[in-house]
């Protein structure tokens, strides 16, 4: 992957990307969705990219699927669809355009390719990984299966295609409890997130056993810090993602997927809320909820933050980097993901 400065100078040979107040004014309708967190002067830097990306998307017959952790200029400026992992996977099955530009991390792009193999799936930075996906291989799945013979393996979508192919079914943070409860037998193996598994175990009727992976963003939150926040501000609502430790989840007023968190804040409109998840969640929904005060701190996902407007434009310009999945692995992985989607739909999730 080229450095951002190199990408910028190569792009400048083809597009006028100099900051422009005129272009900022021309995209005021988009800017209005993010004006609480981005100044107009800053938007003048993004606007030329937003204009070119949206133009090039049409030319290339491309659609941008973006995760809720994308920065606001991507989330509001160039995404055609935004969502959590489950929504993105379902959307990938419905895309009609020939090209999917996945603005998120590699496992999300791989999932889109698995579910819609005739499409060209691009990721603006191939090195946008995930600590969970990196924590387990197909050999790891065989290892844990040998420890619990006959127990079904439920793998989080935050895994590689090889791991999905070696699993019985996938789950996301939106459906994990229901998927585990729907498995046959008393013992269910969950990989690779130990904290998601422990949080599911607390709500499930199954004996849940797990792999010892973790998310480097969510594991940073500490229950004692949240308690200190609540002591200094008793009215604050604390909302956590289930990749946090059970101790953190125990301090939360609500726990859910990134979509679940957004819906909860929309529904309850708390005067003050702390989103115990990735930073962009609060900035993306700030303008939709002017009455809500979003308290910091938050933690950045270094993988998600590799996706930038410069790299999205470069990706569409060069039609790179293309995500390829071995067809044999893809067809096995598809079974695990489709099983999850079908079960989720039948359970109305
Ligand atoms: P969601 O499925 O809740 O969007 O989570 C994906 C993720 O990677 C969170 O860290
Ligand atoms: Fe992976 Fe955690 Fe980043 Fe989500 S926030 S992509 S789980 S490292």
Can you tell me the distance from the alpha carbon of 333 to that of 336, in angstroms, rounded to the nearest whole number? 5
Burial class (CB in 10 A: 0-12, 13-18, 19+), 72: buried
Pocket of ligand 1 contains residue 71 by CB under 6 Å? no
- Measured in angstroms, how far is the CA atom of residue 16 from the centroid of ligand 1? 35
Pocket of ligand 2 contains residue 215 by CB under 6 Å? yes
User: Which of 155, 156, 215, 305 has most ligand 2 atoms within 8 Å of CB, for mutation?
Assistant: 215
Pocket of ligand 2 contains residue 105 by CB under 6 Å? yes
- Measured in angstroms, how far is the CA atom of residue 219 from the centroid of ligand 1? 13
Note the pTM of the prediction, 2 decimals: 0.97
Can you tell me the distance from the alpha carbon of 88 to that of 76, in angstroms, rounded to the nearest whole number? 16
Pocket of ligand 1 contains residue 87 by CB under 6 Å? no
Pocket of ligand 1 contains residue 85 by CB under 6 Å? yes
* pLDDT under 70: residue ranges of the chain: none
Give 155-168 as a 3 state SS string: EECCCCHHHHHCCC
Contacts of 210 by beta carbon, 8 Å cutoff, 6+ apart: 189, 190, 191, 193, 194, 197, 198, 201
Pocket of ligand 1 contains residue 255 by CB under 6 Å? no
Instruction: Write the pLDDT tens digit of every residue in 198-241.
Output: 999 999 999 999 999 999 999 999 999 999 999 999 999 999 99
pLDDT value of residue 329: 98
Can you tell me the distance from the alpha carbon of 205 to that of 187, in angstroms, rounded to the nearest whole number? 10
pLDDT value of residue 157: 98
- Measured in angstroms, how far is the CA atom of residue 198 from the centroid of ligand 2? 17
Nearest ligand for residue 301 CA: 2
Instruction: Write the pLDDT tens digit of every residue in 120-133.
Output: 999 999 999 999 99
- Measured in angstroms, how far is the CA atom of residue 173 from the centroid of ligand 1? 7
């Amino acid at each position: 992957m080229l450095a951002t400065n190199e990408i910028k100078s190569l792009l400048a040979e083809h597009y006028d990307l100099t900051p422009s107040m005129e272009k900022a004014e021309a995209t005021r309708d988009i800017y209005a969705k993010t004006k609480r967190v981005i100044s107009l002067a800053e938007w003048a830097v993004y606007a030329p990219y937003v204009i070119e990306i949206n133009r090039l998307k049409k030319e290339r017959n491309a659609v941008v699927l973006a995760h809720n952790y994308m920065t606001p200029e991507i989330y509001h400026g160039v995404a055609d669809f935004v969502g959590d992992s489950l929504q993105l996977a379902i959307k990938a099955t419905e895309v009609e355009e020939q090209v999917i530009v996945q603005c998120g991390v590699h496992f999300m792009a791989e999932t889109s390719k698995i579910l819609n193999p005739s499409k060209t799936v691009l990721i603006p930075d191939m090195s946008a990984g995930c600590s969970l996906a990196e924590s387990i291989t197909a050999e790891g799945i065989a290892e844990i299966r040998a420890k619990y013979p006959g127990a079904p393996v439920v793998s989080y979508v935050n895994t590689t295609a090889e791991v999905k192919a070696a699993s019985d079914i996938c789950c996301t943070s939106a459906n994990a409890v229901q998927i585990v409860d729907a498995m046959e037998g008393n013992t269910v193996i969950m990989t690779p997130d130990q904290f998601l598994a422990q949080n599911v175990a607390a709500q499930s009727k199954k004996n849940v056993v797990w792999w010892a992976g973790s998310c480097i963003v969510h594991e940073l939150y500490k229950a004692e810090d949240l308690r200190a926040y609540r002591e200094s501000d008793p009215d604050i609502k604390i909302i956590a993602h289930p990749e946090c430790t059970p101790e953190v989840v125990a301090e939360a007023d609500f726990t859910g997927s990134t979509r679940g968190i957004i819906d909860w804040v929309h529904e309850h409109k708390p005067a003050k809320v702390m989103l115990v998840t990735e930073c962009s969640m609060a900035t993306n929904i700030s303008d939709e909820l002017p009455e809500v005060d979003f308290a910091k701190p938050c933690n950045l996902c270094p993988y998600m933050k590799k996706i930038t407007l410069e790299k999205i434009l470069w990706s569409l310009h060069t039609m790179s980097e293309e995500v390829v999945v071995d067809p044999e692995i893809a067809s096995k992985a598809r079974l695990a993901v489709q099983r999850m989607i079908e079960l989720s739909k039948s359970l109305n999730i």
